[in-house]
Chain A
Amino acid sequence: DTEVTQTPKHLVMGMTNKKSLKCEQHMGHRAMYWYKQKAKKPPELMFVYSYEKLSINESVPSRFSPECPNSSLLNLHLHALQPEDSALYLCASSQGTNTGELFFGEGSRLTVL
């Protein structure tokens, strides 16, 4: 199994809503990532988890809150988002933070109204 699974594939939310994006991998990878990608732009790193601990936060606003409940799961909790937060949110995993390539999920396309 070389898949990273993300749900939901599409999400529309208002600025006052609270929602969560979910990511799952069963490759035994110990590093997991959240990236944000706007149209025609490269993915931008948001968070890195290593062995279930947050190791990197790229100065992401607190309205985005990551969580790693166990080694296979990664969540991104969303609250009080802005329309400019609309983007494709990509989850990825790798063997470690300095080993192996990143495997990406298909992403969750978020629209904030």
Chain B
Amino acid sequence: GQNIDQPTEMTATEGAIVQINCTYQTSGFNGLFWYQQHAGEAPTFLSYNVLDGLEEKGRFSSFLSRSKGYSYLLLKELQMKDSASYLCAVREGGSTLGRLYFGRGTQLTVWP
């Protein structure tokens, strides 16, 4: 099974930096994903971590610590269009290969 926890809501101002945390417990681990979802739209892939460390992609970075069951998504130079739900998702390995489970999502509001 899996248990993925992330904050429900966060707010920040334009140009700021925000960090969205995600903790997880899973039987078998085969990667952690971050997705962005605007209201009424499909989730869009942001980043993927399978090994410990930081992955950087433009204004977005994601960090993983497998021993701590912890990840964060860092968004820099926030823009109004970054207001969205950010979903942490864990792919299980082993006998449950193929299952990608989502956390409840963190609704980020960016203010001018």
Inter-chain contacts of A43 with B (CB < 8 A): 43, 87, 102
A69–B33 Cα distance when bound, in Å, is: 29
Q: Is the CB of B87 within 8 A of A102?
A: no
A-B contact count (CB 8 A): 48
A16–B42 Cα distance when bound, in Å, is: 28
Interface residues of B in 41-100 (CB under 8 A from A): 41-45, 48, 87, 91, 93, 96-100
Inter-chain contacts of B102 with A (CB < 8 A): 42-44
* Nearest 10 A/B pairs, CB to CB: A97-B98, A42-B102, A104-B42, A101-B45, A48-B98, A106-B42, A104-B43, A43-B102, A98-B97, A42-B104
Q: Told that A43-B102, A107-B42 touch, could you supply 8 new A-B pairs with CB distance under 8 A? A: A44-B102, A50-B98, A55-B98, A56-B98, A90-B42, A97-B97, A101-B45, A102-B33
Residues of B within 8 A of A (CB): 30-31, 33, 41-45, 48, 87, 91, 93, 96-105
Residues of A within 8 A of B (CB): 31, 33, 41-45, 48, 50, 55-56, 58, 90, 97-98, 101-107
